[in-house]
Amino acid sequence: MIKEEIEILLNEACKKAGIEDAEMKVSFSNLPDICDYQCNGCFALAKKVGKNPLDLAQSIVENLPKNKIVDVMAVKPAFINIKLTDSAFEKIANECLTAELGGLQKHEITKKIIMDYGGANVAKALHIGHLRSPIIGESLKRLYRLFGDEVISDVHLGDWGLQMGLTELQLKLDGVLDYYFSGKGKEPVITLEMLNEAYPKASARKSVDKEFLKDAEDITLKIQKKEEPYYTIYKKIREVSVTKIAEHYAELGATFDLWYGESDAADYIDRAVQIFVDKGLARESEGALIVDVAKEGEQIPIPKKNPDEPQRYKNPMPPAIIKKHNGADLYATTDIATILMRNETCKNVDEIQYIVDARQSQHFTQVFRCCKLAEISPEKQTLTHIGYGTMNGNDGKPFKTRSGDTIKLEDIINMLVEKASEKLKSNGVEFDRKLALQIGVGAMKFGDLSNNVAKDYVFDLDKFLAFEGKTGPYIQYTVARINSILRKVDTKAGGIKICDKDEKNIILAILKLLTAYEICYQDRSLNALCLASYDLAAAFSTFYNNHHIVNESDKTKQASYIALLMLVKKELSQALNVLGIELPEKM
Ligand code: ARG
């Protein structure tokens, strides 16, 4: 990487100037009109060796070994400004064009990671609260894999909770399940429509009808004990629901290696609970089984409603409940059992990451502490909750329908297709659902991922769908435009020649993009990659406006342009692939 090469040159210069083991670092310049990189390290180094900072900067520059990659200047107060030479730009451009990952270096030390994202709940319609997890999770997975990590993704469906009992009870009362209880008549076909009606109805009733809630809890327990016919009915409900969930995830471009749910850990629950009992970590409280996880003197941050609010704390962390008073399993129980299962079925897992709403942070703290206390998760394994912020409406409150209901994922997808189609229509493109979905989903993902994962953001589809500005469609459009030029010209790509500022800016934008991957990896957030992709698309756009690519009569020049176009396409395609954004051939 060029940055490291420059740093080596500077350190060699330090040595020549009589300073051993200097560790000079360079960064992209804050003044791109003046230089490409800058080094701010002379102040600290001068202090260390007792010299005047500007003198030191000058002597480093004078002692710089002869090289063809940089022109360097010491400037007041004591900075070193570094410009890449044209030949350095050319070398980088041509290397990136042929390198497998466009210049990105895989990590030397890689990890084995299980990623838990998706998390849709069976029997309930998917809603907006479940949108960020597959978007962010899928993208992080692709990023990790690009760097060489071994990643196993698990959708971890919510399929072992009270919603199962509620739905079955409602269907039973509606007379749908008579066959299973009386053995008479024909086996019913349980449909998605039935489920979409049953769950909300039951959920509303449980809040006002204690008897009903108790019955639903009893049925939930029977399902968890695999009692018939409850368990058979449960499996049918699960199947119908999962088919729909899979369709939604496919439309969002989220893919999973494992389609497990909470229920897959059911066989590990007894053993997991026993570990706590045997190690003396669990105690009974009001009939329930609980594990104390508070740490002495600690403060628990209360999730903020908005980022500007001062941080407040509560104390201490409440105990984790691992068995309910009636013996039923809870959310924490299945999560603990799942960690046990993951470690038994998959060896040497360095990290388990959960991409789940930030508002569940207490739950994960409890679960992680339980697993560490009971040594269900080995000491050297990292358990991470990557908590994401809320999608808000323009009013700054969680995004809802006009009537105040939570928005179903199905409706969001339809809305995306509709709005993208309108846009395309105004550009004279005929209705094409696949294309509209690519653009709509791409717009939404870019709008989402351009924000820091942990922050809340405003879900503004009109803004996300603009064809100009920092949006997914703008970048998709940039690549479509490159495709269109490449179709028009029959000149073959040649070596990239760097002759002007526009071309240099493209290469610099690529260098920044390559750095952005690493930033995203460290931050576990994709915003830097979104921004760098936009900057590259914008740099390309300037180049495109100032150059006549198709009509260029100098064939060597044109061949260089074509290669440059192919490079930009390659880099943008890789970045958008990490972001999970598809690239339409034409737009
Ligand atoms: N089903 C959960 C929910 O809707 C999300 C699951 C997240 N993953 C986990 N292992 N707890 O809130």
Same domain for 358 and 378, yes or no, is yes
Ligand 1 atom, smallest distance to 364 CA: 11
Same domain for 180 and 231, yes or no, is yes
Same domain for 235 and 266, yes or no, is no
Q: Is 509:536 a contact under the CB 8 Å cutoff?
A: yes
Same domain for 371 and 300, yes or no, is yes
Q: Which residue has the tokens 């495709």?
A: 483
> What was the pLDDT predicted at 21?
86
Angle at 457 between CA 454 and CA 460, to 5 degrees: 150
Please report whether residue 192 resides in a domain.
yes
Same domain for 176 and 269, yes or no, is no
CA 262 / ligand 1 centre spacing (Å): 9
End-to-end alpha-carbon separation of the chain, Å? 35
Q: In the beta sheet, which residues pair with residue 351?
A: 113, 382
Same domain for 434 and 547, yes or no, is yes
Dist. CA 464–CA 432, nearest whole Å: 20
Residue to mutate, 248, 360, 383, ligand 1, most ligand atoms under 8 Å from C-beta: 360
Q: Taking 80 as the threshold, does the pLDDT of residue 404 lie above it? A: no
CATH number at residue 511: 1.10.730.10
Please report whether residue 544 resides in a domain.
yes
pLDDT tens digits, 475-515:
999 999 999 999 999 889 999 999 999 999 999 999 999 99
pLDDT tens digits, 257-308:
999 999 999 999 999 999 999 999 999 999 999 999 998 888 878 888 887 8
> What was the pLDDT predicted at 4?
94
Same domain for 219 and 294, yes or no, is no
Dist. CA 560–CA 97, nearest whole Å: 12
pLDDT tens digits, 186-238:
999 999 999 999 999 999 999 999 999 999 999 999 999 999 999 999 999 99
Same domain for 489 and 557, yes or no, is yes
Instruction: For ligand 1, atom 5, name the residue with the nearest CA.
Output: 119
CA 259 / ligand 1 centre spacing (Å): 13
Higher-confidence residue of 261 and 431: namely 261
Instruction: For ligand 1, atom 12, name the residue with the nearest CA.
Output: 119
> What was the pLDDT predicted at 567?
98
Q: Taking 80 as the threshold, does the pLDDT of residue 315 lie above it? A: no
Instruction: For ligand 1, atom 8, name the residue with the nearest CA.
Output: 119
Dist. CA 562–CA 583, nearest whole Å: 19
CA 313 / ligand 1 centre spacing (Å): 24
Same domain for 428 and 283, yes or no, is no
pLDDT tens digits, 20-75:
989 999 999 999 999 999 999 999 999 999 999 999 999 999 999 888 899 999 99
Which residue among 251, 277, 302 closes a domain? 251
> What was the pLDDT predicted at 181?
94
Residue to mutate, 356, 361, 362, 385, ligand 1, most ligand atoms under 8 Å from C-beta: 356
Q: Taking 90 as the threshold, does the pLDDT of residue 338 lie above it? A: yes
Residues in the chain: 587
Please report whether residue 128 resides in a domain.
no
Q: What percent of the chain has pLDDT over 70?
A: 100
Q: Which of 183-187, 261-265, 578-582 is predicted least confidently?
A: 183-187
Same domain for 365 and 431, yes or no, is no
Q: Taking 90 as the threshold, does the pLDDT of residue 310 lie above it? A: no
335 lines ligand 1 (CB under 6 A): yes
Please report whether residue 108 resides in a domain.
no
Instruction: For ligand 1, atom 2, name the residue with the nearest CA.
Output: 119
> What was the pLDDT predicted at 183?
87
What confidence category does residue 440 fall into, taking pLDDT thresholds of 50, 70 and 90?
Answer: very high
119 lines ligand 1 (CB under 6 A): yes
Which residue among 61, 84, 107 closes a domain? 84
User: The sheet that has 37-39: what strands, in order across it?
Assistant: 27-28, 37-39, 79-84, 70-75
CA 158 / ligand 1 centre spacing (Å): 6
Q: Taking 80 as the threshold, does the pLDDT of residue 568 lie above it? A: yes
Ligand 1 atom, smallest distance to 158 CA: 1
> What was the pLDDT predicted at 405?
78
The count of domains in the chain is 4
What confidence category does residue 311 fall into, taking pLDDT thresholds of 50, 70 and 90?
Answer: confident
CA 63 / ligand 1 centre spacing (Å): 59
> What was the pLDDT predicted at 344?
97
163 lines ligand 1 (CB under 6 A): no
Same domain for 421 and 549, yes or no, is yes
CATH number at residue 353: 3.40.50.620
> What was the pLDDT predicted at 399?
82
Range of 238's domain? 162-251
Which residue among 251, 278, 299 closes a domain? 251
Dist. CA 268–CA 258, nearest whole Å: 17
Q: Taking 90 as the threshold, does the pLDDT of residue 393 lie above it? A: no
Please report whether residue 243 resides in a domain.
yes
Q: Taking 80 as the threshold, does the pLDDT of residue 247 lie above it? A: yes
371 lines ligand 1 (CB under 6 A): no
CA 547 / ligand 1 centre spacing (Å): 52
- What integer best gives the mean pLDDT of the chain? 94
